[in-house]
């Protein structure tokens, strides 16, 4: 950066401007503020698609970052060994058009159906689904429980923001009882799903739940999920101040992140029992971690028994 004119337009008490003026090498070609430092995630992203379309304060950018951090920690220099699938909704834009990879942006609620066919056709690929709670658990709920039941080899990351954010903030399958939304102006009379317990009970090999305020834990669980055979499900509670937060008296992303930090941690030895989710009781942690046979391996064994190809 030869000149830093944009710095000079900052308020006089701005710390960055003060540091720039105080540094003896801060002018001309010797300026220490350069554009050479690149964020690690840019090697996995189509830069021409930036900036993202997410609302200010949305948690989907954090979900994108924690996933790519897990990929980098596992030693992947690119996304050529992956195939990504998303449905319809805010979270679905995390993958397409941003990831520098092969992606399927599918019809509403059908991401897991597409991903199942993709995995069976190209078993050598790591198939990853990233979508929202409305897409995966409402119109796609049947696909979700049966993909977990079959233990299909894929990783699913659910961005749970408690409403249909992209279409105006309607009530969804994870909206808390009593919450006001555009379609429940007097409060939601329904009970919400506990997605982590639902998918664990349906038969997934690995299930965890974290929030955008717990990025280190989320990265750790995503790495474990990507390395695990069978069906893995990571639920990440994500802030939506635009469509959800402002209607439930949490109008800023900070309000929602502070709420996330108060959520209890599930003890590893605690039995998985059903409870109706509440804002105070959404526990975080790992819900199941087992090594049951995946669907692809079950198909191979069946083919071998009947004399067909085992590859």
Residue 31: per-residue pLDDT: 45
Q: What letter would DSSP give residue 288?
A: E
Residue 8: per-residue pLDDT: 56
User: Is CATH 3.40.50.970 the right assignment for the domain spanning 51-299?
Assistant: yes
Q: Enter the pTM of the model.
A: 0.86
Residue 268: per-residue pLDDT: 80
Residue 269: per-residue pLDDT: 80
Structural domain spans, the chain:
1-37, 51-299
Q: Evaluate whether 113 touches 289 at the Cβ level (below 8 Å).
A: no
Structure tokens at 52: 């993202």
Comparing CA positions, the residue from 164, 190, 168 lying closest to residue 179 is 190
Q: Evaluate whether 153 touches 117 at the Cβ level (below 8 Å).
A: no
- Distance, in Å, from the CA atom of 192 to the CA atom of 264, rounded to the nearest integer, reads 18
Which residues of the chain, if any, have pLDDT below 70? 1-36, 308-311
Residue 136: per-residue pLDDT: 96
Instruction: Give DSSP secondary structure letters for 115-131.
Output: HHHHHHH-TTSEEEEEE
Residue 247: per-residue pLDDT: 94
Residue 41: per-residue pLDDT: 93
Per-residue burial over 8-24, b if 16 or more Cβ lie within 10 Å, else e, is: eeeeeeeeebeebeeee
Bond from prior residue into 51 cis (ω within 30 degrees of 0): yes
**Angle between the N-to-C axes of helices 111-121 and 295-305, in degrees from 0 to 180, rounded to the nearest 10:** 50
Structure tokens at 102: 């092969």
Cα-trace Rg, the chain = 22
* Positive/negative CA dihedral, 20, 24, 30, 34: negative
Residue 1: per-residue pLDDT: 42
β-pairing verdict for 231-237 and 206-211: parallel
Q: Which tens digit of pLDDT belongs to each residue from 46-90?
A: 999 999 999 999 999 999 999 999 999 999 999 999 999 999 999
- Distance, in Å, from the CA atom of 89 to the CA atom of 108, rounded to the nearest integer, reads 8
Q: How many other CB atoms are found less than 10 A from the CB of residue 233?
A: 30
- Distance, in Å, from the CA atom of 238 to the CA atom of 234, rounded to the nearest integer, reads 12
């Amino acid at each position: 950066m030869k000149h830093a004119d944009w710095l000079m337009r900052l308020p006089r008490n701005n710390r960055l401007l003060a540091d720039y003026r105080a540094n003896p090498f801060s002018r001309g070609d010797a300026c220490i503020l350069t554009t050479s430092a690149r964020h690690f995630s840019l090697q996995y992203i189509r830069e021409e698609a930036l900036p993202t379309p997410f609302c200010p304060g949305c948690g989907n950018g954090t979900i994108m970052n924690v996933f790519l951090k897990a990929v980098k920690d596992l030693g992947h220099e690119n996304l050529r060994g992956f195939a990504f699938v998303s449905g319809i909704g805010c979270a679905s834009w995390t993958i397409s058009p941003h990831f520098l990879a092969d992606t399927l942006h599918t019809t509403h609620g059908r991401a897991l159906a597409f991903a199942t066919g993709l995995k069976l056709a190209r078993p050598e690929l790591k198939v990853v689904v990233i979508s929202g709670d409305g897409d995966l658990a409402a119109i796609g709920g049947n696909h979700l429980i049966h993909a977990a039941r079959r233990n299909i080899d894929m990783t699913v990351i659910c961005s749970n923001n408690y409403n249909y954010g992209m279409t105006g903030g309607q009530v969804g399958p994870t909206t808390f009882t009593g919450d006001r939304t555009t379609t429940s102006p007097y409060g939601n009379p329904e009970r919400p799903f506990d997605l982590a317990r639902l998918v664990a009970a349906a038969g997934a090999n690995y299930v965890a739940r974290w929030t955008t305020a717990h990025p280190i834990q989320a990265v750790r669980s995503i790495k474990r999920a990507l390395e695990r055979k069978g069906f893995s499900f990571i639920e990440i509670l994500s802030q939506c101040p635009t469509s959800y937060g402002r209607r439930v008296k949490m109008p800023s992303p900070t309000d929602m992140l502070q709420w996330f930090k108060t959520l209890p941690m599930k003890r590893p030895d605690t039995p998985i029992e059903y409870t109706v989710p509440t804002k105070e009781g959404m526990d975080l942690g790992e819900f199941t971690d087992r090594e049951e046979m995946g669907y692809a391996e079950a198909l191979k064994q069946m083919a071998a028994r009947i004399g067909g190809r085992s590859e």
